[in-house]
């Protein structure tokens, strides 16, 4: 995990986190959460991106950045897909299409799966096939903390 003092560069977002923890795996996420808890820091989570509202940032706290965790695991026999917290809709589409599968959610490839799952997720296939994101399951990293 890399910690850095941030410089957020977005004209419409005025947030100033104290630290950004760039995670590359579950161990990094657990370490960042424990660090935030031990230091009583306000915590925000950045998934894969496409957050135009600035909700993945916080003032004077820590941002746990999952954008380096983009793995996609497709089980073609079960017709399921599992994604890491920084994966995007484009990552998922690229991997599922190889198996002739499509997930009916979202239409912008740069949309992060985490925000898409928690924030709604509508797309071209939602109407005819219904949304497949069920029960908004928490990531394995969150369960391990």
CATH match for 2-65 among 3.30.565.10, 3.40.1410.10, 3.90.280.10, 3.30.43.10: 3.30.43.10
pLDDT at 87: 94
Q: Taking 80 as the threshold, does the pLDDT of residue 55 lie above it? A: no
- The CB density around residue 15, as the number of other CB atoms within 10 Å, is 17
- 14: tokens are 């005025």
Q: What is the pLDDT of residues 116-129, one digit of tens each?
A: 776 655 555 555 44
pLDDT at 115: 76
**Residue spans per domain, the chain:** 2-65, 72-144
Q: Which residues fall within 8 angstroms of residue 120, CB to CB, at 6 or more apart?
A: none
Class of domain 72-144: alpha beta
Q: Taking 50 as the threshold, does the pLDDT of residue 62 lie above it? A: yes
Q: Which residues fall within 8 angstroms of residue 94, CB to CB, at 6 or more apart?
A: 72
Domains 2-65 and 72-144 share a fold: no
């Amino acid at each position: 995990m890399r910690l850095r003092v941030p410089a957020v560069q977005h004209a419409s977002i005025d947030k100033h986190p104290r630290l950004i923890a760039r995670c590359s795996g579950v161990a990094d996420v657990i370490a960042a959460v424990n660090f935030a808890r031990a230091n009583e820091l306000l915590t925000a989570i950045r998934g894969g991106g496409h957050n135009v509202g600035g909700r993945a940032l916080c003032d004077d706290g820590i941002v746990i950045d999952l954008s380096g965790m983009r793995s996609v695991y497709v089980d073609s026999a079960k017709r399921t897909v599992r994604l890491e917290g920084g994966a995007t809709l484009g990552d998922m589409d690229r991997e599922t299409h190889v198996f002739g599968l499509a997930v009916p959610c979202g239409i912008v490839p740069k949309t992060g799966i985490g925000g898409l799952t928690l924030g709604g997720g509508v797309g071209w296939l939602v109407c005819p096939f219904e949304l497949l994101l069920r029960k908004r399951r928490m990531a394995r990293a969150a369960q391990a903390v």
